[in-house]
Structure 1
Amino acid sequence: MDFSYSDDTESLRAHVRSFIREQIIPYERDARQTPHGPTDALRQELVAKARAAGLLTPHASVDMGGMGLTHVQKAVVFEEAGYSCLGPTALNIHAPDEGNIHLMEAVASTAHKQRWLRPQVQGHIRSCFAMTEPAPGAGADPSMLRTTAVKDGDDYVIHGTKWFITGAEGASYAIIMARMEDGTATMFLSDMDAPGIRIERQMHAMDSCFAGGHCVVTFDGLRVPSANVLGEVGKGFRYAQVRLAPARLTHCMRWLGQARRAHDCAVAYAMERQAFGKPLLEHEGVGFKLADNDMDLHTAQLHILHTAWLLDRGDSCNFESSRAKVICSEASWRVVDRCVQVLGGRGVTDESVVMRIFQDMRAFQIYDGPSEVHRWSMARKIGQAHTRAQQVSA
């Protein structure tokens, strides 16, 4: 693996870095940020800036209006965008839209792409992904899916309740996962203003960086034409893996940018703040924390780049993306937690952006699969690999 970037990639990184610092970070104290994410007016203003800079939806294909970046190039761009909590929103690479765009490109029909994907790539609309359900429904275990879809003539009729559906408020369309009568799962596409969809409420969450926040959504007799099945009937769980493996990694990329931002704030503070006759940085208790930060940041970046490199080679990376998700989420959290400690009173108030990063970051160990589920999945695969190796040697 060659760790050097091409001249084009280095130039792109510099462009994104200056764009985020000069045009996006100044918005971080904009009053149009709410506990449920930036308002749509703020989102559109940020998107317009990215569009003018030629940076809108860089991960989408060239045919759809994106830049067609490789996974390694995405690692560079997404990390730089993540340096600001508003960067992913501006570039249209925030969750869940980033993963939905990837899924729609891979699975959707031409008609679906024209109706929903193209305007989404252009930044005009948002989407949501409706899979998670309240107990006893699907959460970390998708096999517990309780939302149902029953065939009725040329339509499917969907009933069920979803919750923690990111971006549902203000989304134009939803990708809905539902269980079929034979026990398989299917993904359906529906406009969010269709009869039978009701947003019950927005949930109050620790994070405030996702446009539309997180919602409880009810599907009460929602009729979806057969033509709006996403992909093929019965392949919902398979398509979920198409979406989730790359999405796990792009989460890592964006949050690494946030962790690096927190670290930079802590280093600057430790160099200027005096205590007991010298800068904080010269006290081992602080200096060691910053050294540990550097090791965690570098380790996370190496796992991202390695997994991105494998994805670019065409590997499925289910194991590697789980490994990267656990390592990066926990390493980034350790970095931000240390930064709060270094900053002291400034770190637990909005005098520093680090407090917000801390609040937003904690859920990263839960999103797209809790660390425990990924460890469990990895353990099973490790056991299976061991069994295969023994069979070959025998």
Structure 2
Amino acid sequence: MTSLDELPLRDDLRGLSPYGAPQEQVRVSINVNENPYPVPEEVATHVIQQIALALPGLNRYPDREFTVLREKLAKYLGHGITADQVWAANGSNEVLQQLLQVFAGPGRTVMGFTPTYSMYPLLTQGVGSTYIAAERDGDFEISPDTARNAVAEHKPDVLILCSPNNPTGTALSLETIQAAYEASEGIVIVDEAYGEFRPDGMPSALELLPGRPRLIISRTMSKAFAYAGARLGYFAADPVITDAVRLVRLPYHLSAITQAAACGALDYSEVMLSQVDLIRGQRDRLVEEIAALGYRVYPSASNFVLFGGVSDQAAMFEEFYRRSILIRDVGIPGCLRVTAGTEEETTLFLEALAEITRERPELQAQEAVR
């Protein structure tokens, strides 16, 4: 059998590994930041009806401008956003890929602040650009000065700011985003995939869009909407940005089924988002109770929690897996990440963490319990 080494791959792809998180049959799967609640029955029924209406026309190509969907997304976002400011694709990863195809490419640079979403470097590599990993402040924060100075130093063609940040949960202030934008001459993308989980009163970067034609706010229906399997991401920006993305989008990239399913869910957006408060409650419970066990817990504005004070993260991951609980080792030394699940899932995780800490005390770093 031919191996990858024998294929004429691009040199810059040799030795890379594809993105992927474990997909295992376990009793508690809290590793990939999914919404733990199923699509409500009344919404599922409506979505099925919308898909049924689309089925007879599948012999024809879908609306390549997905006009109705863009109108519904604009209405959902509010902030005075109009349909011509909205674009959608098959998940926010494809949204980001399309944006990098337009604004990055060979000879250009893309910058993020590490640690952040691990797909950013891979998407950058895929379009032949160079990825720059700028440093954060302590506790994974980014101050306006830090953002401003990093942009001035590296002058990226595209800057990606993840807020709330995956995998740390850190939210950025509007002042930091504004400082980064003002220091930049390129495109600034704010990835708000977890935006709906922000604490009450914490503003969205959508507020900064007016008068900033190089600013793009990326969102997804995967997380808060409990729609990960539907694959629908989108962005809001100046209408000229949507014109630019048309230059690289594949023909009819959003199927009629995808459009119908997304529109059906948006018709019931309040119902789809009805579990967000429950998830935020379990997130806050994780923050409090993990800390009570002696671990370092980082503030989170998302639906997951990063905790440190782990002496051997691989061994602790295996202890959870042995108990049929799947969490995430995100590669940050001494840290693991756990998604806020249902109340029952959160309880099972916390009980397991307490048991592991008791039975394997060497897995808790000593400085964490001082």
TM range (shorter): under 0.3
Output the TM-score relative to the length of structure 1.
Answer: 0.23
> Whose helix fraction is larger, Structure 1's or Structure 2's?
1
TM-score between the two structures when normalised by the length of structure 2: 0.24
